[in-house]
A and B are shown apart, each in its own frame.
Chain A
């Protein structure tokens, strides 16, 4: 599993990577996950339906992340009011 974070001016960066079945690596993943949530990030897991349709799932704790998920993507939480655009 990889924990990725979207960054302005960079694109995504890898925060942590590990096997959830290895306790030591799972602990590191959980710690990194909590750090991001504490920093106010939203976490999304890209998923695929049985029919092959790609979707996403927002998760609020590491327990909600499917064990077989390949990636969790963190991004800044939504804030209302985008800057006024030129028309």
Chain B
């Protein structure tokens, strides 16, 4: 009697499993597809290798439309901008007592144009803490433009916000001296071309 009941129970379980298996299988496949779809929808859009490049191109176009032609060509050819200091007696002109070199995402370097002596580094950044594209850093040319606008519009305010350090803390003085030589050569060549 016991053996018969046991056998019947086993047969019953096997029958039920066979009946339920296709439904269970379909359910599992469906659940897996739903999970995949949700995972894809919630995943980030992925790395776009061209995004930073396009951002930099836009930033360069904006920089070009804002700064004088001479400064734009300086940045395009040499990779930095020179801004004459505006707080001296002679104002913002080629005879200014000091000038600044603006590098993208590096401190602003103040120097004496007549001697090439370095004065200070002004460490300043424009971090966008909303991180709209995952980074707080502006494109290189936007960083340069922000520094240029702030320096030419309100030099004291920008210098007041910056951390001032002695030369050489972040920007290699040798590099700055080389850049000043490059700048002199570049301006001479331009003058010669114009004169010709």
Contact = CB atoms under 8 A, between A and B. Distances in A.
Interface of A: 4, 6-12, 39, 42, 44, 46, 53-58, 73, 75-85, 87
B136 A8 contact: yes
Contacts of A9: 51-52, 55, 132-135, 139
Interface stretch (B26-34, B145-153, B180-188): B145-153
A54 B62 contact: no
Given A56-B148, A82-B107, A76 B153 contact: no
Contact of B142 (A56, A58, A75): A75
A50 B19 CA distance: 90
Given A9-B134, A56-B66, A87 B170 contact: yes
28 contacts: A6-B62, A6-B126, A6-B128, A6-B138, A7-B132, A9-B52, A10-B51, A11-B54, A11-B55, A12-B142, A42-B150, A44-B149, A53-B68, A54-B66, A54-B67, A56-B66, A73-B145, A75-B138, A75-B149, A76-B129, A76-B138, A79-B125, A79-B127, A80-B162, A80-B163, A82-B123, A85-B105, A87-B171
Contacts of A39: 130
B162 A77 contact: no
Chain B interface residue bracket vs A: 35 or more
A43 to B, nearest CB: 10
Nearest to B51: A9
B149 A56 contact: yes
B58 interface: yes
A80 B161 contact: yes
Nearest to A11: B58
Interface in B97-137: 105-107, 123-137
